[in-house]
Structure 1
Amino acid sequence: MRAHCKRSGFSLVEMMVAILASSILALTVGSILYFSWMAWMQHNDSVSMQRDVSLTMKLIADEVRETPIEDISVGGSLQGAHGAFVVSGNDLVYKGITVIDGWLTGFESTKTTTNVLVKVALSTGQDNSVFEATFFSRN
């Protein structure tokens, strides 16, 4: 008579199926994390760019409002009574402080008898935006 022995454990096929399923799960989770990180980074750059241009437009508005319109000089930069907005490469500098850091692709200012029009073009590589505002002098 033969002794019957009960075997326990996984067969080779079951083990290969488990490894394949685990690999697919790991790749799926890794892909989700990677693409979520990339989307967050892109969104973070866009938000930072919008924050910087908002601050810059506020500073320009303050400068234009505090300077008589005839004393403002415009063009590739903007000069008011208290300081100048100067383009330095891809940066915009005001009173020695970089207010837009690395995203600037264009800066243009024009003046009429009552107001100043400012256009700022920015790019994060993924997001290209042009911001435009008209500022009126109080004087």
Structure 2
Amino acid sequence: WATWSPNGTEAADFSETYNGGRSGAYHLTHWSGSPFEVWTYQTRTGLATGNYKVRAWVRKGGGFDIARLQAKTCGSCGPVFTNLGTYGNWTLVETPAIYVSGGYLELGFHTRASVGNSANFIHMDDVELIRL
């Protein structure tokens, strides 16, 4: 996994054990007591042509300007995405289907908080890429 931030707030993206992961000790977290924006992602190459979805287990509290699971087929392409609701318990979410024809897919989590609130968090775990 890699992290990108347009405003130097990459530290809001980290792995931790707080409240436990869904299927192990660790989970990914997007959190900060200050405003932040991060995109935690991975790229997959060599994919067979076809439709795919990204699935992940998410636990979220509080409000964000952007909080979503997304996927796109090129660096400059617009993503397909699912906005994350507020989930007190681990909840399975997935993106809409996306057609991959060039073998490349970028997938991950995009979060932006324009106001710092230490009570707001997103925990993410067990991410899967599913060929339909």
TM-score above 0.5: no
The structure with the greater share of residues assigned to strand is 2
The alignment's TM-score, normalised by the length of structure 1, stands at: 0.21
Looking at both structures, which has the greater relative contact order when contacts are Cα pairs under 8 Å and sequence separation is at least 6?
A: 2
TM-score (norm 2): 0.22
